[in-house]
């Protein structure tokens, strides 16, 4: 049965027969838990450095310095580059690991790559939880980083290949939703850990990450690999069976044939890395592979999340201000991500990017101005409650804007725009760039805050303006377009069409000739 066609921006794209089946939802849910372990580590890192027993055990000299310092300036908090570098070690380990994820997903498949990443994470979390000295702690952290780096490459890839085109946005955004759940869980665990008598609560917080990682490892044993990955590794019989199972219809010939053609095209590419960087025909994909994760980290989301406790303290949440602020921003983050889950496949990716970006720019300018008017350049002074409530409101408006634009789209767009020939390599680049800049922004953030003061909000606001213009001009709409048909999107785009070398027609006409010959015989 031939696929229907969908009319979209004056272009006709195929839709394959099939429906959203339970096995697809379950499989994508398991893969999306990779977001949870990444988010958990983002939240855990900030909590550990404020845990007194943890600091005394592993960083006694830095802890002594922290106690001595008297904060007179709201902008210049205690800043230890060594401590920050240790916190960043996880993300630097993930940066390196993500490069190895490409060859792993290509050779062993998406499913087994997820399994090995989760296993490394479980081992790292357990070692970290029972650490008695610094080398043990660092070993655990590097293993956890490797698990994060590999899984954030493999998970969005797995989801995009499993999902039907019409629900790909919704299913892929579960990954970002899980990141927000992971951050919120870590904030809760940090708080509960700090209440444990005897000062070993941090061990619970570190080891707790093994639970979601174990869910991925065990879940990976129960879910099928993607048909694309099975065809890529030559197991066409299982691929056809899996495709029938996940689409829930009796005839998947057309989709199977298109996946096989894409796989044949991919096999002709000897070195995906060389093809991506020097081949010339993947310029648009390479641009987005590098810039989307770079921009995602330069939205300033980490700054807002970090600065929230200071603002919330002044509102009157004197006790447990850090927890309250983390939970409020965390909840806004989680619930706002649902907006993207519901709308990404209806209003499209561009609309969410542009609306969310505009909301973030306005919020950052207002927050920066409010703080500047109160603290000035000196960083001293108090904020009145009404003023602080205004700031808290716009912090939440900012977080909401991020949670339905750059948060989920930063993972969705890269996972759906790469052709199979360079998909593994390009997703590795995206994951590595994301991890590297997570570490980099974390490393320079406190120094930037101390020097730029309230201007830091304007600094990130300017970046959001730049990236919103970049999206407005250069990102084509990708909703409802099958991954195998994505090449046509670039050919229609006013800017990218001059860079796209069209070789697909040759492959398709060869495939058509082969089909006609088979039918005649």
DSSP assignment of 348-413: -HHHHHHHHHHHHHHHHHHHHHHHHHHHTTTT-----HHHHHHHHHHHHHHHHHHHTTHHHHHHHH
Q: What is the Cα–Cα distance from 77 to 66, expressed in whole angstroms? A: 10
Helix (H, G, I), strand (E, B) or coil at 19: coil
Give the HSE-up count for residue 26: Cα atoms under 13 Å, Cβ half-sphere.
Answer: 13
Greatest Cα pair distance in the chain: 86
Q: What is the Cα–Cα distance from 520 to 18, expressed in whole angstroms? A: 28
Residue position matching structure tokens 């940066």: 95
Q: What are the φ/ψ torsions at residue 12 (nearest 5 degrees)?
A: -100, 120
Query: Over the range 338-364, which residues count as b (16 or more CB within 10 Å of their CB) and which as e?
Result: ebbbebbbeebbbebbbbbbebbbbbb
**Start-to-end CA span in the chain (Å):** 20
By CB atoms closer than 10 A (0-12, 13-18, 19+), residue 21 is: middle
**Which pLDDT does position 512 carry in this prediction?**
47
Q: Which of 309, 302, 310, 300 is nearest to 364 (CA)?
A: 300
Pairing of strands 11-15, 4-8: antiparallel
CA dihedral 261, 264, 268, 270 (to 10 degrees): 120
- Beta-carbon contacts of residue 217 (< 8 Å; ≥ 6 apart): 115, 118, 119, 122
- The dihedral of CA 377, 381, 386, 390: what is its sign? positive
Ranges of residues in the chain with a pLDDT under 70 are 1-13, 71-72, 74, 303, 305-323, 379, 381-383, 502-521
Contact 339, 403 (CB under 8 A): yes
Helix (H, G, I), strand (E, B) or coil at 6: strand
Q: Residues of the chain with pLDDT > 70: what percent?
A: 88
| Mean pLDDT, all residues of the chain | 87
300 Ramachandran zone, left/alpha/beta (phi>0; psi -120 to 50) = left
Considering only CA atoms, give the Rg of the chain.
Answer: 24
**Which pLDDT does position 468 carry in this prediction?**
98
Residue 434 belongs to what H/E stretch?
helix 420-452
**Which pLDDT does position 188 carry in this prediction?**
86
Q: Which of 482, 184, 171 is nearest to 340 (CA)?
A: 171
Please give the C-alpha separations between residue 176 and each of 179, 411, 444, in angstroms, as whole numbers.
5, 7, 25
Contact 232, 420 (CB under 8 A): yes
Residue position matching structure tokens 């969410």: 352
Please, which contacts does 283-288 make with residues 24 or more away whose CB atoms are closer than 8 Å?
A: 283/496, 283/499, 283/500, 284/417, 284/490, 284/493, 284/496, 284/499, 284/500, 285/417, 285/418, 285/419, 285/422, 285/426, 286/426, 286/429, 287/474, 288/413, 288/414, 288/417, 288/475
Q: What is the Cα–Cα distance from 94 to 89, expressed in whole angstroms? A: 8
Q: Which of 266, 399, 382 is nearest to 313 (CA)?
A: 382
Tokens of 508: 């398709």
**Quick one: fold of 22-225+269-480?**
Growth Hormone; Chain: A; (1.20.1250)
């Amino acid at each position: 049965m031939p696929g229907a066609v969908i009319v979209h921006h004056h272009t006709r794209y195929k839709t394959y027969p099939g429906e959203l089946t339970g096995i697809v939802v379950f499989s994508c849910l398991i893969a999306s838990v990779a977001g949870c372990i990444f988010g958990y580590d983002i939240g855990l890192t900030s909590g550990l450095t404020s845990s007194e027993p943890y600091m005394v055990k592993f960083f006694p000299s830095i802890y002594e310095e922290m106690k001595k310092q008297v904060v007179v300036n709201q902008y210049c908090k205690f800043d230890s580059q060594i401590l920050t570098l240790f916190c960043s070690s996880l993300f630097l380990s993930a940066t390196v690991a993500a490069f190895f994820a490409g060859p792993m997903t290509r050779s062993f498949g998406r499913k087994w790559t997820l399994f090995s990443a989760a296993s490394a994470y479980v081992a790292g979390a357990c070692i970290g939880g029972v650490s008695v000295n610094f080398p043990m702690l660092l070993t655990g952290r590097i293993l956890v980083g490797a698990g994060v780096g590999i899984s954030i490459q493999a998970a969005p890839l797995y989801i995009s290949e499993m999902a039907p085109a019409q629900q790909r946005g919704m299913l892929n955004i579960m990954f970002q939703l899980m990141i927000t759940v992971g951050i919120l869980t870590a904030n809760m665990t940090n708080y509960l850990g700090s209440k444990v008598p005897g000062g070993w609560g941090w061990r619970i917080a570190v080891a707790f990450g093994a639970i979601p990682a174990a869910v991925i490892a065990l879940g990976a044993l129960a879910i099928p690999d993607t048909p694309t990955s099975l065809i890529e590794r030559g197991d066409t019989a299982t691929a056809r069976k899996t495709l029938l199972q996940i689409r829930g219809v009796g005839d998947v010939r057309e989709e199977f044939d298109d996946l096989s053609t894409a796989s044949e095209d991919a096999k002709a590419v000897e070195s995906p890395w060389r093809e991506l960087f020097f081949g010339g025909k993947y310029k648009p994909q390479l641009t987005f592979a590098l810039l989307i994760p770079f921009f995602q980290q330069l939205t300033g989301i980490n700054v807002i999340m970090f600065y929230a406790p200071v603002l919330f303290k002044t509102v009157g949440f004197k006790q447990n201000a850090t927890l309250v602020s983390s939970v409020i921003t965390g909840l806004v983050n989680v619930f706002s991500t649902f907006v993207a889950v519901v709308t990404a496949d209806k209003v499209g990716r561009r609309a969410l990017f542009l609306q969310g970006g505009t909301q973030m720019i306005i919020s950052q300018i207002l927050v920066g101005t409010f703080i500047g008017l109160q603290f000035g350049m000196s960083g001293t002074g108090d904020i009145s409650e009404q003023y602080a409530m205004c700031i808290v409101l716009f912090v939440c408006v900012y977080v909401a804007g991020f949670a339905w634009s750059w948060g989920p789209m930063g993972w969705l767009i890269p996972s759906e725009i790469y052709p199979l020939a360079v998909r593994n390599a390009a997703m590795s680049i995206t994951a590595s760039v994301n991890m590297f800049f997570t570490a980099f922004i974390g490393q320079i953030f406190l120094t930037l805050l101390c020097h730029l003061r309230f201007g830091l909000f304007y600094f990130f606001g300017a970046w959001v303006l730049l990236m919103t213009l970049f999206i407005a001009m250069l990102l084509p709409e990708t909703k409802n377009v099958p991954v195998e048909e994505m090449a046509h999107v670039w050919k229609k785009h006013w800017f990218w069409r001059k860079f796209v070398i069209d070789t697909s027609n040759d492959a398709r006409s060869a495939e058509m000739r082969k089909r006609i010959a088979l039918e005649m015989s």
